[in-house]
Amino acid sequence: MRRRMKSKCALGRILLFMLLFLWIGLDAYGADGDPVSAPPGVIAIVNGKEITLAQIQEMIRSSGQSDTPQLRATYKNQLIVQELLRQEALKDSSLENRPEVKKAIEQAKEAASLQVYLREHVKPEPVTDEMVKKAFRGDLEKLGRYEYKVRMIQVGDDELGARLITRLKNGADFSELARLYSLASNRDQRGDMGWVNVKLPVRDEVEQSLPLPIAREIARLKPGQFSTSVVKWNDTRLLLKLEDIRLTAIPSYDDVKEKIRQNLEGQAWNKAVMTLAQQLAKNAKIAQ
């Protein structure tokens, strides 16, 4: 296990050094230092292998990030590094006979076949402009008048939560405790949840953008205050601190319509996949 971890770390360092090297010196030049002369749509050539603009665009689309020159350059250099390593790996013909390589090839074939099958057989309901507008209106109805700047600490049990509350009462810094003890993915951001919206009053029948126990606790706190008991939601245990309050900034329809459309298209796709799976299951023999 230790040897495997060391090899992964070494590979990570190699990739990092190669990427930095490419950023510094090979961004627009071939290996011999001459400017690349490439056909239309080709943004780099690595030992005769073309890297295309279409590959970059697909990576950006899959990432969900905004298309910027900086992101294009990052992905281009990433593909160059991958191609250099791929070409070097192919020189060792023994690799293709290794069990892990054969398994990876088989898994890649299965994944590609599945993607093509889904693309040809899944027919999601089209998302219309009216559906987007309706979803936008629904989102606005869920918004409260105020937004709350909140930090959180996720703990594994009530005992640790109680100990941390005692330390907070004695003057400990909430953000530092979040960094040290939180189980949440935002621990490196010291528990920062950003600005969240809570619609007042918090009642069971009022739909919130947050789970009700969390929304209730945020609404109870005043700026600078923190939870004096562990907030429980399902199996999750939290401590919260309210840092600030501001009026909710209402987004314009034009600013959010594409994001809403993408969300609705994703939901329609998932629904269509589940419908297809249910149809297939009716004629299948499934043992569990």
- Residue 117 is predicted with a pLDDT of 94
Cα separation, 127 vs 264, whole angstroms? 7
- Residue 210 is predicted with a pLDDT of 86
- Residue 31 is predicted with a pLDDT of 46
- Could you tell me where the beta strands, DSSP code E, fall in the chain? 42-46, 49-52, 146-155, 192-198, 231-233, 236-247
Least confident segment among 126-140, 202-216, 272-286: 202-216
Report whether 47 contacts 26 (CB < 8 A). Answer: no
Report whether 264 contacts 144 (CB < 8 A). Answer: no
Report whether 192 contacts 186 (CB < 8 A). Answer: yes
- Residue 173 is predicted with a pLDDT of 97
**Given pLDDT bands bounded at 50, 70 and 90, which one contains residue 28?**
very low
Instruction: Provide the Cα torsion 135, 138, 139, 145; round to 10°.
Output: 160
Region 256-261: what's the mean pLDDT? Answer: 94
Q: How many CA atoms lie within 13 A of 77 on its CB side?
A: 19
Q: Write the pLDDT tens digit of every residue in 34-84.
A: 555 678 899 999 999 999 999 999 998 888 788 899 999 999 999 999 999
Q: Which residues pair with 70 in a beta bridge?
A: none
- Could you tell me where the beta strands, DSSP code E, fall in 92-208? 146-155, 192-198
* Token representation of residue 212: 């009700």
CA angle 133, 136, 137 (to 5 degrees): 90
Q: Percentage of residues in the chain with pLDDT exceeding 90?
A: 68
The pLDDT of residue 265 is above 70? yes
Helix (H, G, I), strand (E, B) or coil at 49: strand
Cα separation, 22 vs 127, whole angstroms? 42
The pLDDT of residue 8 is above 90? no
**Given pLDDT bands bounded at 50, 70 and 90, which one contains residue 192?**
very high
- Residue 74 is predicted with a pLDDT of 93
Cα separation, 126 vs 143, whole angstroms? 27
- Residue 62 is predicted with a pLDDT of 84
The pLDDT of residue 284 is above 50? yes
Sign of the torsion angle spanned by Cα atoms 192, 255, 76, 79: positive
Cα separation, 279 vs 171, whole angstroms? 60
Q: Which residues contact 222 (CB under 8 A, 6 or more apart)?
A: 242
- Residue 14 is predicted with a pLDDT of 53
What the chain holds in terms of domains, given with CATH numbers, is 2-92 (no CATH), 132-247 (3.10.50.40)
Cα dist. 158→122, 228, 276 in Å?
46, 12, 44
- Residue 36 is predicted with a pLDDT of 55
Q: The whole model's pTM is what? A: 0.56
Question: Looking up tokens 């697909």, which residue turns up?
Answer: 58
Q: Which residues contact 281 (CB under 8 A, 6 or more apart)?
A: none
| Mean pLDDT score across all residues of the chain | 87
